[in-house]
């Protein structure tokens, strides 16, 4: 489900998270995944910023033409949602919408610090849990989310195809 016109269900979003996990996540993985995301964004002339954090440390950041400092602020706010809830920022927002409310109305968190808008996805290590986040900002929130999912599917598909 990577159609930017179709809103994914909560079940589809949860499936993405269960499926897109890592055995490990190194600094080299951050560079390769970030570079893959930048490449996809450049192909589409997407005015985005890309960020990867692990355990509180920024491992990758790139700002493409057309992105602004506001994109960095959105990255920080979306990443904090992943760090707090352990789920993608888009899924967290969808869960609130499914309850007939919004994150901003009901989370009781400062909207200047947290944003449950699509584009930040947890870096989950099998048997460990969430250790970081990969985040894109600059497109409409569903497109930000789907760009990250596409990159993770490609990256993890390539990594799993390699012999151990």
Summarize pLDDT for 123-152 with one digit per residue, the tens: 999 999 999 999 999 999 999 999 999 999
Q: What average pLDDT does this structure show over 4-14?
A: 87
Q: For position 75, which CATH number holds?
A: 3.30.450.150
In a domain, 5, yes or no: no
Q: Does residue 3 have a pLDDT over 60?
A: no
Total domains present in the chain: 1
Q: Would residue 83 count as lying in a domain?
A: yes
Residue 9 lies in a domain: no
pTM above 0.95, yes or no: no
Q: Of 53-57, 112-116, 128-132, 155-159, which range is least confident?
A: 155-159
Q: Helices 89-98 and 141-161, interaxial angle, to 10°?
A: 130
Range of the domain at 45: 15-159
Question: Residue 151: helix, strand or coil by DSSP?
Answer: helix
Query: Does a structural domain hold residue 3?
Result: no
E strand segments, 8-119:
49-54, 57-63
What is the pLDDT of the chain when averaged over all its residues? 94
Q: For residue 164, is it within any domain?
A: no
Q: Which residue has the tokens 């897109």?
A: 20
CA distance 36 to 18: 21
């Amino acid at each position: 489900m990577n159609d930017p016109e179709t809103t994914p269900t909560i079940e589809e979003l949860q499936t993405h998270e269960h499926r897109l996990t890592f055995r490990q996540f190194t600094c080299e993985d951050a560079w390769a995944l970030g570079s893959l995301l930048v490449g996809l964004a450049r192909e589409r002339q997407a005015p985005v910023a890309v960020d990867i954090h692990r355990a509180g440390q920024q491992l990758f950041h790139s700002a493409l033409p057309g992105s602004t400092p506001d994109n960095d602020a959105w990255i920080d706010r979306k990443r904090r949602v992943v760090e707090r809830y352990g789920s993608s920022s888009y899924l967290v927002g969808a869960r609130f919408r499914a309850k007939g409310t919004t994150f901003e109305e009901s989370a009781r968190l400062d909207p200047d610090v947290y944003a449950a808008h699509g584009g930040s996805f947890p870096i989950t290590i099998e048997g460990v849990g969430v250790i970081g986040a990969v985040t894109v900002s600059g497109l409409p929130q569903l497109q930000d989310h789907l760009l990250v999912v596409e990159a993770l599917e490609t990256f993890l598909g390539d990594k799993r195809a390699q012999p151990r």
